[in-house]
A = this chain, B = another copy of it.
Amino acid sequence: MSDANKAPIGIFDSGIGGLTVVKAVMEQLPNENIIYYGDTARVPYGIKSIETVREYALQITEFLLSQQVKCILIACNTVSAAANEEVRAFCGNVPVLDVVAAGAEAALSVEAKNESIGVIGTLATVNSQTYETAIHATAPGKRIFSKACPMLVPLAEEGWTDNEISRLVIEEYLGDFREKNLDALILGCTHYPLFTPLIERYLKKSGTKVIDSALSIAARTRAMLAEHNMINESGEKGEFTCFVSDKPQRFQNLAERFLGKKLHRIEISPLV
């Protein structure tokens, strides 16, 4: 194994949501070192112009490359939609994976009984039609049903992921989808994996496979590293470094809920 294999995986998001991707990568690739960047000072990206999102994404990419990462995971649906090509071009030979491509690929790998896929996400992601574009590039015949679920991000941040309120919100948003017997439902927002158990329970009888794009991109990363012979096989537990551009009140608790474990150190590193 070359020393390059010990280089960290870089993961970024506009805020803390991408920590669900970190969690999935830690589980599937426990020896990898990980560097995360959350742009907490400038979140949310979904309400900003495409030009601004591109500029921010390239600033973060530059920061991660300066940390000698061996690949970059775009753990942000807004950036995946707005700046995917720009980030790839900027990275040159460093491989780039993104949640949209990974989620779309995972949804297409589900047995197609009804040739239909559901997508839920923020208003920005749904309006961008980024999942439609990604899916139709491979499978133009798929019917896609998408729905913006703006309450799910604040619900996740409040920690109400499996109570009576979240159950009613899921019913309200996914009521139509339950009747459609979709082959798959893509959770197209990095906050949404916190609702996976609730959504799986709600859609159980409709036979819909729930696609957690955090798990999908982690699996895709594992495959890509194996293909390039870049897996860290040191046998040591990987190190995790968490950078943010601002550390708001209650950040630590919130971050730990998304990561599913204690977070010992958070570095504050503004980009501008």
Which A residues are within 8 Å of any B CB, using their own CB?
40-41, 43, 47-49, 123-124, 127, 150-151, 153-155, 157-158, 160, 164-165, 168-169, 172, 246, 248-250
Contact = CB atoms under 8 A, between A and B. Distances in A.
A249 B127 contact: yes
A123 to B, nearest CB: 6
Nearest to A40: B47
Contacts of A248: 47
Given A123-B249, A127-B249, A249-B127, A154 B150 contact: yes
A45 B177 CA distance: 35
Number of copies: 2
Nearest to A153: B154
B169 A123 contact: no
Contacts of A155: 151
Contacts of A41: 47-48
Contacts of A154: 150-151, 153-154
A158 B164 contact: no
22 contacts: A40-B47, A41-B47, A41-B48, A43-B47, A47-B248, A49-B246, A123-B249, A124-B249, A127-B249, A150-B154, A150-B158, A151-B154, A151-B155, A151-B158, A151-B160, A153-B154, A154-B154, A165-B165, A165-B168, A165-B169, A165-B172, A168-B168
Given A41-B47, A124-B249, 5 more contacts: A40-B47, A47-B248, A154-B154, A164-B168, A168-B168
A250 B123 contact: yes
Contacts of A157: 150
A169 B155 CA distance: 11
A249 B248 CA distance: 27
A155 to B, nearest CB: 7
| 8 closest cross-chain pairs (CB), A and B | A154-B154, A165-B168, A151-B154, A47-B248, A127-B249, A151-B158, A150-B158, A150-B154
Contacts of A168: 164-165, 168
